[in-house]
Amino acid sequence: MAPSLTSEAFAAALDRADPLARFRRRFHVPRGTIYMDGNSLGLLSRDAERSLNRVLGVWRTRGVRGWIEGPDPWFYAAEKTGAAAAPLVGARPDELIFTGTTTVNIHALIAAFYERRGRRTRILADALDFPTDIYALRSQIELRGGDPEADLLLVPSRDGRTIEEEDIVERMTPEVALAFLPSVLYRSGQLFDMERLSREARRRGILIGFDCSHSAGIVPHCLSRWGVDFAVFCGYKYLNGGPGCSAFLYLNRRHFGRKPALAGWFGNKKASQFDMSLDFDPARAAGGWQISSPAILGSATMPGSLAVLGEAGIGMIREKSIRMTSYLIDLVKTELGGPPYDFNIGTPLDPRRRGGHVALEHPREALRINEALKARGVVPDFRPPNVIRLAPVPLYNTYREIRRVVLQLKDIIDRGEFRAFPRRRKAVS
Ligand SMILES: Cc1ncc(COP(=O)(O)O)c(C=O)c1O
């Protein structure tokens, strides 16, 4: 008889058949934990650790000469890492630069791409966006003398979890100058059809950019083929670059002639940067949008991290990610669906519409159940009002871990264990 979905044997068989299982050894998995938070902060790989140590070694032994000496001179690091990450998101090598931070890159891009032209004064975003994106959009509108109440159009959600693409397209009206959307909604994990949205935007003369922080490194992209105008993504989620590491800025080649709005000397053409001319001559590449000296220490893990991702292959990663999230969803439906558990899946059930994490909703006790899970050594995260996010990461999580998390959730409810925790949320949840 075939083992049942919830049996240990079923999970073990999935692990045995997993072509990416060997990659777990390449990561430092915190002892005694089941780490399910790679959608917030990915784990450190031994490869990333080595590449950071190499940079420290260069600084230790060469000092300032590290900018131009050695196998990886820092002066070219942002371009080189951008090119190395390009296949992950379907960019051409010079369309991607490893620079700044996500929010700063959003500001830099919106400042240049948001032009109020006649009746086209609006920016289109959505009501379930990550807050920093909305803060940046509002402040950019204000900087242009606009009114965020009138000029920022947030596509509403029909169910409080997801946004229908057709609702976005419907709002791509002649008043919209620019659309800036997430690739994956951070709470529910819904993946947008970026190709369709880009096509519809272009058809209507609207520029379109994406915040791909929740899809880079877990979902394949074809940013250039889809005709996306610009994009940003952080390096610390599925790209495993470490807390607060540098971020990526994507610029479609057709915009290489466009003047960066926030000019800085590292955006200047490399060959003439040290001429120290007072006339800014930006590189005709995404690199032209750099502002400051690259944060070499905050960038140093990424080459190692990208090597691991490249070895595994983004196609294989996506395939396993879908298998893992499907398995998790099936287990939750089977084990935790009805009373007294009452869990609901907030993530689209169609795998083509979801990113790398699953949102478990609980009508009353998500916060305290999340705390109880943490006390048992599971690392999930909580997003108000009622979502526990779980991200099984193909490179370092196992199917057995997924099963154990679901059984832990069941046990926490059976024992009423969550009642021991306060209803107050910690500063970072
Ligand atoms: C979609 C999205 N954008 C941006 C950020 C954060 O931006 P920053 O890297 O500037 O802190 C996050 C953080 O989780 C995010 O989920």
Cα separation, 288 vs 357, whole angstroms: 34
Which of 401, 357, 323 shows the shortest CA–CA distance to 238? 357
Q: Which of 6, 204, 32, 19 lies closest to 122, judged by CA?
A: 204
What pLDDT, on the 0 to 100 scale, is given for residue 400? 98
Q: Which pLDDT score, from 0 to 100, does residue 365 have?
A: 95
Average pLDDT over residues 76-97: 98
Average pLDDT, the chain: 97
Average pLDDT rounded to a whole number, residues 80-99: 98
Give pLDDT, residue 162.
98
Looking at residue 2, its pLDDT comes to: 78
For 207-245, write each residue's pLDDT tens digit: 999 999 999 999 999 999 999 999 999 999 999 999 999
Beta bridge partners of 233: 248
Q: Is the pLDDT of residue 428 over 80?
A: no
For ligand 1, whether the C-beta of 234 sits within 6 Å is yes
Whole-angstrom Cα Rg for the chain:
22
Q: Does the beta carbon of 102 sit less than 6 angstroms from any atom of ligand 1?
A: yes
Amino acid at 107: H
> Of 107, 132, 137, 187, which is best to mutate to test ligand 1, by the most ligand atoms within 8 angstroms of its C-beta?
132
Residue 186's closest CA among 206, 149, 211, 204? 211
> Does the pLDDT value for residue 359 go beyond 90?
yes
Angle between helices 131-143 and 102-113 (to 10 degrees): 40
Token couple for 73: 């001179």
DSSP state for residue 3 in the 8-state scheme: P
Ligand 1 centroid, distance to 139 Cα (angstroms): 16
Per-residue pLDDT for 122 more than 90? yes
d(CA 178, CA 289): 19
Mean pLDDT score, 155-182 = 98
User: Does ligand 1 have an atom closer than 6 angstroms to the CB of 101?
Assistant: yes
Ligand 1: does its nearest atom lie under 6 Å from the Cβ of 39? no
CA of 273 to the centre of ligand 1 (A): 31
Looking at the DSSP bridge assignments, the partners of residue 207 are: 178
Q: Is the CB of 134 under 6 A from ligand 1?
A: no
Q: What is the mean pLDDT of residues 81-104?
A: 98
Query: pLDDT tens, 256-302?
Result: 999 999 999 999 999 999 999 999 999 999 999 999 999 999 999 99
Q: Is 246 touching ligand 1 by the criterion CB < 6 Å? A: no
SS3 assignment, position 11? helix
Q: Is 103 in the pocket of ligand 1 (CB under 6 A)?
A: yes
More confident residue, 99 or 70: 99
Q: Please report the pLDDT score of residue 418 as a whole number.
A: 95
19 near 316, Cβ under 8 Å? yes
pLDDT at residue 427 in the model: 72
Q: What is the pLDDT of residues 22-57, one digit of tens each?
A: 999 999 999 999 999 999 999 999 999 999 999 999
Contact criterion met (CB below 8 Å) for 45 and 308: yes
